[in-house]
Every structure is written in structure tokens, then in C-alpha cells.
Amino acid sequence: MEFKKSQELYNKGLVNLVGAVNSPVRAFASVGGNPLFIKKAKGSKITDVDGNSYIDLVLSYGPMILGHRHKKVQKAITKALKNGYSFGASTKNEIKLAKIVCDAFPGMDKVRFVNSGTEAVLSGIRLARAYTGKDKIIKFAGCYHGHQDALLVAAGSGLATLSLPGSKGVPEGAVKNTLIANYNDLESVKAHFEAHDDIAGVILEPVAGNMGVVTPQNNFLKELKVYLQSKGALLIVDEVMTGFRSKFGGAQELFDVEADITCLGKVIGGGFPVGAYGARNEIMEMVAPLGGMYQAGTLSGNPIAMAAGISTLTELKKQNPYEKFNEIAQIIEVFLLESAKKYGVEITVNRFGSMINPFFTNKEVTNFEDAQTSDTKKYATFFWEMTKNGVFLPPSQFEAWFLSSALTEKDIQKITNAIDKSMEAVSKM
């Protein structure tokens, strides 16, 4: 397999693009080598500029749940294009998609569409502060909620300390109201409430997807919600990644938890830039033009994105592929474990619904600290061997793999064959 044209484009891209990419994760920094440049995709496959075809387990980091260029989504987009690209005014489809989303999430009466997951989370946090009249937000180490200043933070020296900026260009003042807790550790949350009386809420991914797939343990989410209610604080659930991926609706419902504010993205845009945040009426009525919390976006509710989202969710509800997703994920999990055992490689596999990934560690992974014990050099070897055997994975140990309903039995066989060859390569390191 050759990557000559990708290499040539990478070199050209270095001239006018930062690192030749527009999102750092595309830079392949954590696995070595240069990024692949993609030309086209269809169904379960993605093809690079050198003509190499791969089974896609990245799926644009989640939104292509039906596979690429699904015929019904394609038809809806084409129809919408004939009417115009952007109006800066309201359209009927905004109302239609809003109803689909609100109906899928118990406790969500109203929703506001935005342009990205980052924007959804930024707005959701502002809303929590506006509703409670308090300033501080607790987030969990290893949970990623976009690149806004207030959430680009690393843990401080203690559970009850303020956080420190995790990126240059983020002043300490921007994160002074952000506190860090440990995922799956309710006591770390309580410690902050004991030290501060101005906490508006807690934000988390119901299933973490940016430290690998990490699920809540021992009723963590339910106990967290009960505790927050006792403190008059809100639970903000970031379902940008998990929304519609484990059921038609949110992962929170599978854990018998109802968020106060839910943030969405990815799947609801069908591959177009869309985000959303929603809540019950009393909270959402704080948002302009009904209330005093201002948030706006010229391209929010873009007609093409709305058409893609409606078509994607309508088809997704019709297909109801969630049982199939669990079956495929289980097949991949079992094969990863058996292949690793066969070649003497230590791994842990976590999965939830249509999200799965292996950690190259012998530890059970329940938080970011556990995830960081993974051998990233082994993952890099595994990644490139999978690539050479026709499977496109996230170029990071700490990103989830995603499944699409376009996967075939032949695709699954190819994935398992690639895993066996890749695990053998890791064993020879």
C-alpha cells in the first residue's frame, strides 16, 4: 500500500495550513507518520487520494452512522440545495428536526440548534450559569467538551483546587471557575461542593469517548444526579458523541438518568456541521429571545444541515440498528481479546453500543488515569498495520471506534483478519 499522493499533498499543505491540517487529530502526531488525504467515501468504505480503500471505523468521528452518502440522505440534501444554501432566516425544517430531537429525549421540551458540538457545550454551560445564578462548573479529567477556553484545563494539585490552563493562550482567569473531578468518582465531586458554594453544575459525557470508550460504573450517573439535585446544581450531559449512537435518543436514558441540559451534535447533522442544546421549558426560556441569556449564530439551523439531519434520524429510527451494533461490537471485542491472548499482547477492551476501542494496558479502564497507562507505541504499530490491511481507525489510542449500519459480513471478516495481523505485528515489537 502506497501513500505517495497523500505525502505530496501533506507537503503542499504545510505552506498555507497549520501542520497541513484543520483539526489537530488529523495530524497523526500520536501514531507517527503523515495524515492520509481522503478523496471520497461510500457506504462502509472510505478512499484516499492514492486509491487505497478502507473500511471506515472513524466515520467523521461519529456522524456517518448510516455509512457514507446514504441514498436517502443524499436525496434530501440534493432537494434542499435547489432551494438555496443559507437564508439567515427561519425555515420549516428547523421545526421538524427540533420535534424529532425533543421527542427522543425525555425532559427536553425545547432545543436550540447551533453549528458545532463546541458551540453547543459553550451555550449549555452559559445557560446553566444563567439559570442557577452561580459561576463554577465541574468537569471530569479526560472528558472533552470542545476547545472553548473555560474547558481546556488540566487537573490541579488537589480535588478541591481550581484548575490550570491546558493550552497556551488560555489565561488563568478563563478557567478560574472550572473545577476538575475524577470520572466514576462521586467523592471527587463532593469535595468541590464542600469547598465552594457557587457551583452551577457538572458537565460530563455519559460514556466518555475522548479518553477511549469509558463507561459509568456502579450507578455513578444516577448517584451524581441525586447529589446535584440536593445541592441545587444542574447536570449537563454532553451527548455530542453518544447521542443516537446507543439508542434512538441519548445514552443517559439507558442509565436511567435525565439531564437538566443536554448538548448534541454529530449524528443530528448527518455529516454537516450541527450542534444543539436543549432542556425543559423553565430552563430553555432563559435563552434569548425569551430570556436574558444571549446566544446567536447566523448559520444556525442551516437548511442543508437540517435536511441532512431529518433524513438521517428518520432513516435511523426506521432501521433501528442498535441490536445489530451490539452484536458487531461484541464480535470485534471478542476477536480483539482472543487475538491479543494468542500473541501475548496485554489489552483491555471497552465498548458501549456502536462505540468500541482497545486499550493497550492490563488495567481495567474506568477513568482517565487508567486510560493513560496504555502503551501508545503499541497502538501506533497496531494503527498502521490496520491501515495497511484496509481498516481506517482513529489515529489516537484515546479515540473511540464507531460502527455504521452500512457494515457487511464481508467487512466484519476483513476487520477481524486485519486485527489478527496487526496484533501479531504488535507482539513483535
The span from the first CA to the last CA of the chain, in angstroms, equals 21
Question: Averaged over 2-26, what is the pLDDT?
Answer: 94
Burial of 60 (0-12, 13-18, 19+ CB in 10 A): middle
CB distance 148 to 314 below 8 Å: no
Active site residue 144: yes
Tell me, yes or no, if 198 is annotated catalytic: no
Domains identified in the chain and CATH numbers:
4-65+321-427 (3.90.1150.10), 71-318 (3.40.640.10)
How many beta carbons lie within 10 A of that of residue 253, not counting itself? Answer: 18
The model's confidence at residue 41, banded by pLDDT at 50, 70 and 90, is very high
154 band by pLDDT with thresholds 50, 70 and 90: low
- Which pLDDT does position 358 carry in this prediction? 97
* Selected catalytic residue, list 48, 56, 185, 238: 238
Strand partners, 154: 164
Q: Per residue in 258-313, pLDDT tens?
A: 999 999 999 999 999 999 999 999 999 999 999 999 999 999 999 999 999 999 99
Q: What are phi and psi of 275, to 5 degrees?
A: -140, 170
DSSP letter, residue 4 = H
The SS3 of residue 206 is coil
Confidence of residue 329 (pLDDT cuts 50, 70, 90): very high
Whole-number Å distance between alpha carbons of 348 and 84: 49
The answer to whether 250 and 262 have CB atoms below 8 angstroms apart is yes
Give the per-residue pLDDT at 166.
Answer: 66
Distance, in Å, from the CA atom of 159 to the CA atom of 153, rounded to the nearest integer, reads 14
Q: Taking residues 373-388, report their average pLDDT.
A: 96
- Mean pLDDT of all residues in the chain? 93
Please tell me which residue in 266, 277, 375, 379 is annotated as part of the active site. Answer: 266
Query: 299 and 89 in contact (C-beta within 8 Å)?
Result: no
Task: Fill in the amino acid letter for 313.
Answer: L
- Catalytic residue (one of 144, 183, 277, 379): 144
Q: Which of 88, 208, 59, 235 is nearest to 141 (CA)?
A: 208
171/84: higher pLDDT: 84
> What cell numbers appear for 54 in the block?
478502507
Q: What is the pTM of this model?
A: 0.94
The helix, strand and coil proportions of the chain, stated in percent and rounded to the nearest 5, come to 40, 15, 40
Rounded Cα–Cα distance for residues 90 and 131 (Å):
26
Angstrom CA distances, 255 to 219, 230, 417, stand at 8, 19, 34
Please give the helix or strand (H or E) that residue 111 lies within, else none.
strand 110-114
Residue 177 confidence (pLDDT) above 70: yes
- The residue type found at 233 is A
- Of the chain, the percentage scoring pLDDT greater than 70 comes to 97
Whether pLDDT at 161 is above 70: no
Measured CA to CA, the distance from residue 240 to residue 425 in angstroms comes to: 34
- Longest CA–CA span in the chain (Å) reads 62
Once rounded to an integer, what is the mean pLDDT over residues 48-66? Answer: 97
Note the residue count of the chain.
Answer: 429
Assess whether pLDDT exceeds 90 at residue 156: no
Asked if the model's pLDDT at residue 163 lies above 70, the reply is no
C-alpha cell at 232: 441545587
Cell output for 197: 458554594
The cell for 93 is: 425544517
Q: What is the pLDDT of residues 195-247, one digit of tens each?
A: 999 999 999 999 998 888 999 999 999 999 999 999 999 999 999 999 999 99
Dist. CA 283–CA 130, nearest whole Å: 9
pLDDT at residue 165, rounded to an integer? 58
Whether the Cβ atoms of residue 213 and residue 350 lie closer than 8 Å to each other = yes
Three-point CA angle 130, 133, 138, nearest 5° = 85
pLDDT in tens, 408-417: 999 999 999 9
The pLDDT tens digits of the residues spanning 348-365 come to 999 999 999 999 999 999
Neighbour tally for 106: CB within 10 Å: 13
Nearest to 340 by CA among 401, 223, 426: 426
Residue 144 is predicted with a pLDDT of 85
Is 222 known to be catalytic? no
**Number of other CB atoms surrounding residue 284 within 10 Å:** 21
Number of H helices and number of E strands within the chain? 13, 16
Q: What's the grid cell of residue 20?
A: 497541513
Residue 179, pLDDT > 80, answer: yes
Angstrom distance (rounded) from CA 23 to CA 365: 27
User: In the beta sheet, which residues pair with residue 234?
Assistant: 201
What pLDDT is recorded for position 244? Answer: 97
- Tell me the pLDDT band of 12, cut-offs 50, 70 and 90: very high
Quick one: pLDDT at residue 155? 37
What pLDDT, on a 0 to 100 scale, did the predictor assign at position 362?
Answer: 95
Query: Between these two residues, 100 and 23, which has the higher pLDDT value?
Result: 100
